[in-house]
Chain A
Amino acid sequence: MTGADRVVIVLAALLVGVAAGAYWQPRTVADRVEVQVGDGAPQVYSLDAQRHIEVHGALGTSILEIEDGRIRFVSSPCRNKVCIHSGWLSMSGDATACLPNRVTIALLGHGAPEIDAVSQ
């Protein structure tokens, strides 16, 4: 390996590093979910493994379901079921809540979210 080879290799490595930094597409698909009850410390779960989560809130138990990288409220003791109507959530920045039961979920992902808020 000549000195020129080394220079070329180092330049190539630098190019890859710079290109990776400059062109990395921020992922908008969430990989984790943050579950918070009232003022308590948020509990973080991975969206990779399928599971049911029971959350004990102010009114009773809310059940969350994680499947295929997404999450939804399966049941919740609030009457109007806003949280259940939200359906499956899968993008970082997504969030829903069962306010009467004081349970909030927020999806997290790496990179900047493409959207700052959703008008609804």
Chain B
Amino acid sequence: MLLRRILVGAALLALLSWLALRPPPQDARETELVERNLPVLGTWVTLSAYAEDPALQTRVQRAFDQVAQQLADFDTRWRAFGDGTLGRLNAELVAGDSIRVPQDMLPLFRRAFEIHRISGGLFDPRIGALVRVWGFDDEAHYRESPPPQAEIDTALAALREAPESLQACPGSGEAEQDCYGPAPGVVLDFGAIAKGYAVDQVGERLLAAGIENFMINAGGNVRTQGRRGDRAWRIAVRHPRPEIGRLLAIVEPDNENLVTSGDYERYFEYQGRRYHHILDPRDGRPAQGLQAVSVLSADGTLADAASTALFVAGPGHWRDTARKLGVGQSLIVKADGALQATQTLAARITLPAKPPLEVVP
């Protein structure tokens, strides 16, 4: 009798221990997340779709196949150097010629030059020569010290001489076309806007394929649509100083893009100073005063370009620049680490480390 009690007790104890300590069951939702990683646009692009229905999952895979091709084409077309379309247009500019903007590239050209104008030149699609002087265009050309001032001055002088906007020019048919140049010494570089535009286009394609719940992460340029099962997509903003923290803030975008520009992505240090890749087109040097700018917007193209424009605008002028660009939701980390956010975004973010946040109207 005693033995039986001990055996039953031991068996129950074993059962209870197992129930309490067993690893959590494989999350059922994980099998409903379809993912694809693509090495394009100079980074990794991750496509994720939440799809419970196997037929929908197949449709998602097919759509991802198309997107992979779409992004690969986009990549070659918009690369500032090389054999792609923009690379060839830049070669024509270098040769002193005017360029005619191909019809399929016109929307992004116009958008970039429009944001250039509205931002008062803080965002500049003509910045390619400066990027190259600093060696941020190509990982094989990274510098270990700042370039000579004379090289910066040459690139700045070319920018001053060059036209600020696209010009209408006679097309091959009856329609007018857009042209640019001549602009000797100018290299067009859409690196601060093309990723956002690509994400917008991918989003449209996925929506057109009937996919309603997805996330596109183009190297930290994140766009969400719908939900991830029973909860919203949850996106963190990286802390600009990893020695202080990993995550700065968490936000649940509602069919929006969250884009961050920071001084930590591409940089080198020289004599204790950090030289990063976000260049101020006014003095041709890395923009000072901020560590990171995040912008949340339904317009991915705008979010991408605006995060750069606000970064260049700096601590005293970012809010004014955001107003001009029609950007209502932004989060700023100043050079001393202080946080600022616009009212609309402040109400939507959680700060895991609870740092003080200054809310700006």
Interface string of A42-59 (1 = CB under 8 A from B): 000000000000000000
B139 touches A117 (CB 8 A): no
CB distance from A79 to the nearest CB of B (A): 4
B95 within 8 A of A: no
**Which residues of chain A have C-beta atoms less than 8 A from B139's C-beta?**
78-80, 99-100
Contact A79 B142, beta carbon cutoff 8 Å: yes
B8 touches A119 (CB 8 A): no
Assess A13 versus B19: contact at CB under 8 Å? Given A24-B24, A118-B237: yes
Cα–Cα, bound, A9→B29 (Å): 32
Q: What's the minimum C-beta distance from A53 to chain B, rounded to whole angstroms?
A: 20
Which partner residue on chain A sits nearest B237 by CB separation?
A119
Closest Cβ of chain A to B26, distance in Å, is: 8
| Shortest distance from the beta carbon of B277 to any chain A beta carbon, whole Å | 9
Flag if A120 contacts B24 (CB, 8 Å): no
A82-B266, A119-B258 known; A112+B27 contact, CB < 8 A: yes
B46 contact from A21, A79, A117, Cβ within 8 A? A117
Which one of A1, A26, A27, A100 has the greatest number of beta carbons of chain B within 10 Å? A1
A41 interfacial contact with B, CB 8 Å: no
Q: Please name all residues of chain B whose beta carbon is closer than 8 Å to the beta carbon of A110 when the two chains form the complex.
A: 23-24
> A11 at interface (Cβ–Cβ under 8 A)?
no
With A17-B19, A80-B268 already in contact, the answer to whether A115 and B215 are too (CB < 8 A) is no
Stretch from B153-161, B182-190, B216-224, B316-324 forming part of the interface with A: B216-224
B21 CB, nearest partner CB in chain A, Å: 9
Q: CA separation between A91 and B247, bound complex, in Å?
A: 11
Chain B residue nearest to A91 (CB atoms) is B246
B214-258 at interface with A (beta carbon < 8 Å): 215, 217, 219-222, 224, 228, 233-238, 242-243, 246-247, 250, 258
With a cutoff of 8 Å between Cβ atoms, the chain B residues found around residue A91 in the complex are 246
Q: Is B283 an interface residue (CB 8 A)?
A: no
A80 touches B236 (CB 8 A): no
Q: A residues within 8 A CB of B46? A: 117
A75 contact set on B, CB distance < 8 A: none
- Is the C-beta of A60 less than 8 angstroms from some C-beta in chain B? no
Contact (Cβ within 8 A) A118 B235: yes
Q: Which residue of A lies closest to B292 (CB)?
A: A120
Say whether B235 contacts A99, CB under 8 Å. no
A53 to B259, CA, bound (A): 33
Q: How far is the CB of A24 from chain B (nearest CB, A)?
A: 5
**In the complex, chain B residues whose CB is within 8 Å of the CB of A26:** 24, 27
| B147: min CB distance to chain A, Å | 15
Interface membership of A61, Cβ < 8 A = no
Q: Is A4 an interface residue (CB 8 A)?
A: no
A-B CB contact pairs (8 Å), 25 listed: A12-B16, A13-B19, A16-B19, A17-B19, A21-B25, A79-B139, A79-B140, A80-B266, A85-B267, A86-B242, A87-B242, A91-B246, A97-B44, A100-B140, A104-B44, A111-B24, A112-B30, A115-B235, A116-B233, A117-B235, A119-B259, A119-B294, A120-B219, A120-B220, A120-B262
10 A-B pairs with the lowest CB-CB distances in the bound complex, closest first: A120-B220, A120-B238, A79-B142, A119-B258, A117-B217, A119-B260, A80-B142, A17-B19, A24-B24, A115-B236
Residues of chain A whose beta carbon lies under 8 Å from any beta carbon of chain B: 1, 9, 12-13, 16-17, 20-21, 24, 26-27, 78-80, 82, 85-87, 91, 97, 99-100, 102, 104, 110-112, 114-120
Name 17 extra pairs, CB < 8 A, besides A16-B20, A79-B140. Answer: A1-B5, A9-B12, A20-B20, A21-B24, A21-B25, A26-B27, A82-B265, A110-B23, A110-B24, A114-B234, A116-B48, A117-B217, A117-B235, A118-B236, A119-B220, A119-B221, A119-B237
